[in-house]
Amino acid sequence: MAKVYIGIGSNIGDRQGFIRRALKLMPDYGVYVEKVSEIIETPPYGYEEQPPFLNCVAEVVTFLPPLRLLKALQDIEHRLGRVRVIRWGPRTIDLDILFYDDLVVNTPALKIPHPDMGNRLFVLKPLAEIAPNMTHPVTGKTVSEMLRELEETPQRS
């Protein structure tokens, strides 16, 4: 079984409810939740004219290969009312594969590790809570190191 870390976010409607429902649906797709970080509220990223997000990270195990896992997560998003209109726009639920074991995938459909995780406090903070020593297979940095570097970087306004 592969160990996978999934970033979860919601900023429309019952945000906590959508996160709970997504986690509850995962086993139906062969994705078994082992740990979930605390849920944190964060400002929007990218497109800023939208409500704040609730974010967390789940550690899961699965036999699904990466592209089938992506399809399963997209199906869960669809079942929970996710509509893609604006890039980084409002959404009922967002499920992103952050790490899949130490695999590196770079296709048009899927990139693992998640290419922008190093710039996202809303990903690194909850990920560091449950997997501080997970090592990025490309950079060789641990999640804790990535978080520390991001927190020490002056924020652009």
Confidence band for 153, pLDDT divided at 50, 70 and 90: confident
CB 60 within 8 A of CB 26: yes
Mean pLDDT of all residues in 49-77: 94
Could you tell me the pLDDT band of residue 37, with boundaries at 50, 70 and 90? very high
Of 4, 154, 13, 5, the closest CA to residue 83 belongs to 13
Look at residue 99 and tell me whether its pLDDT is greater than 80: yes
Alpha-carbon torsion 26, 28, 29, 31, what sign? Answer: positive
List active site positions. Answer: 82, 91, 94, 96
- Residue 106, judged by CB atoms within 10 A of its CB (0-12, 13-18, 19+), counts as exposed
Residue in 59, 75, 82, 79 with CA at minimum distance from that of residue 9: 82
Task: Give the pLDDT mean for 31-57.
Answer: 89
Domains of the chain: 2-152 (3.30.70.560)
In the chain, the amino acid numbered 87 is R
pTM to 2 decimal places:
0.92
